[in-house]
Structure 1
Amino acid sequence: MKEELIQRAYELAKERYAAIGVDVEKAMDALQKISLSLHCWQADDVAGFEAQGALTGGIQATGNYPGKARNMEELRQDVLKAVSYIPGTHRLNLHEIYGDFGGKFVDRDQVEPAHFESWIQWAAENNMKLDFNSTSFSHPKSGNLSLANPDKGIRDFWVEHTKRCRAIAEEMGKRQGDPCIMNLWVHDGSKDITVNRMLYRELLKDSLDRIFEVEYKNMKDCVESKVFGIGLESYTVGSNDFYIGYGVSRNKIVTLDTGHFHPTESVADKLSSLLLFIPEIMLHVSRPVRWDSDHVTIMNDETMDLCKEIVRCNALDRVHIGLDYFDASINRIGAYVVGSRATQKCVLQALLEPLDTLRKYEANDQLFERLALLEEGKSLPWNAVWDMFCLKNGVPVGEEFITEIQKYEADVTSKRN
């Protein structure tokens, strides 16, 4: 797209927004400061770098599109390629199974910061900060229960694993000069009816308390719930109620994954309540289709509502936006770019809302006026502001990234066996 055309459209949009009291440059400045936490597992369908085995834990990556990353070098290459098409500066979110194990077997209760030294160096060289996750699934000791397992030996194994992951996150945060956010999600649950709900939740609570005994300065803990997983349909130990109670009582960040709730449940509505009682929120933005299918995030009502609620709560500094989807049926670099840019578009539109006027209408009980302005806002020229944001960040404007990703596929990923 010609720069002159982008500039002309932007100036008109700037004038149009100014007429309703919105400063588009202020909105772009705010968007520039927001770093998405990009999930490394879109690049290889959650395979990781341990010995290959089936993906477990009630999650699935569906599809078999050719060209997925097969090793650390290819994954890093693909992530950098994706980031080159996403405006702004972003983070990379790693699972423990993506350690640099040097081709050796390192069991999960033996992992240490040294296994992520090359990641820390790579991130610094590429101006990216790291976030982290413990990994309870896809392991011989995973089963249906990990931190909530009645078998003390298995439970202790996963407690040790998660403690070590926190130490790794602490080292990452210390080295990058910015807290590493470590998410804790475990798949623990039951396929059929259980008569021991309380027992498993007591065990999980006790395991978490052991894990969090050591306080760190350079990492932040967050805990994540889920409504159910495949093969674990009847009961999930770490439910939403459990983790809200735990997060509030232990002053932990609560992670809200948009695919981990009932399909008709609004995740956006949860923000204003949780922010009253916990320090921060971590979001895993996905697109559930009938279940936690982890389709690529798009600019739909759910994502838009979520981003608008962040801005309306004045919580941009308290809500961390991460992505969590893994579509193996399409080009994986394209999946990164589409989902990331869609999320940013939603944040931008939230920042362009004429909030002062809308709130004035609401305070004066001018409900027709509020509704009318909300509706008119949907057709304002936010896309011209988005194009300018991309131009300023030196990334492709509009659909230009499509042909570039096609070229990368032809030159690189299509040649992978």
Structure 2
Amino acid sequence: MEFRDLKTQYQKYKDEIDGAIQKVLLKADFINGSEIQILEERLAKYVGVKHAISCANGTEAMTLVLMVWGIKADDAVFVPDFTFFSTGEVVSLSGATPIFVDVDPHTFNIDTEKLENAIQRVIKKGELNPKAIIPVDLFGLPADHHEIGRIAEKYHLLILEDAAQGFGGSINGQKAGSFGHAATTSFFPAKPLGCYGDGGAIFTNDDHLASLLNSLKVHGKGKNKYDNVRIGLNSRLDTIQAAILNVKLTAFIEHELEDVNKIDCLYNQKLAGAVEIPVIPAGYYSSFAQYTIKLKNKSERDALKTRLSEHKIPSMIYYSKPMHRQEAFNDQKFDDADYMVANKLCETVLSLPMHPYLTEKEIDEICNVIIDV
């Protein structure tokens, strides 16, 4: 059994994927080939924004946006405490200070009441300049972007939506990747839409921002790649990865997103009452980068993980350590009492196999073990 079954997906679309790769090989158009533009246009249309700018990976997608915005030392950027490391890492790389905010115990996304309190504390202290919020669409579920937008407008902050896990999710039909002033996603293989290596994209309706991003991702190019008008990065998506993504995007739109939501329903029907199942608020739609349950305590969670492993059922802990406890951020002082929810989640969450090719027989096998434990 696979946690994220890329092997079955490849077998289903083998002819299309192999053909797309072969086309690139025959043209030897490995950098900035026509597949890149096709992919960017399709991504922008799907998300519902004017511009999709592909790049090397999801981390550099965020880095590029912060570079354009001029985020720097003495700036404060607000980040959820329960998420993958790169969301805080890019803030520190810019020279700014990540301000970690506890999360909602049900959705696992940034707690908007605590977010506003954190902004007010930074303003009152007066040592840092509040500049931006990076809400994360964790496990495929969009954050509370409407309330985040209200808070950002009130305090004149920029919003960078981290939709690395959220591609395909939506709120009342508005797609993840279309919230805030800019948004980013990742095409890491295990993501809802993944390539066969690293890749990422930035989404925006801002023409000027898009122009600068297209320059910065190619060494700050001007009229051409040998006319360098600013300091940038080398952060291009390879043509072969774009070709693969074009095939997989079609599958994602045609059935994969719908299929993972059907699997969510099957899990919920079988597990309700046995464990805490994912909460999807009214009007929200998740792309289920992960299907994550909650147990009562760490010992129960760890015992279940062990039992699943004994039955050769993969499971993962996302995340075993909150951001404020990461050694890389030891230069800051944190009060553990400010992160009670994140601390508890790290001890109680467990992610189960979730992908469009999971069978009902496999779901029964997984759920029977859980219910037995």
TM-score (norm 1): 0.27
- Bigger Rg, structure 1 or 2: 1
When normalised by structure 2's length, the TM-score is: 0.30
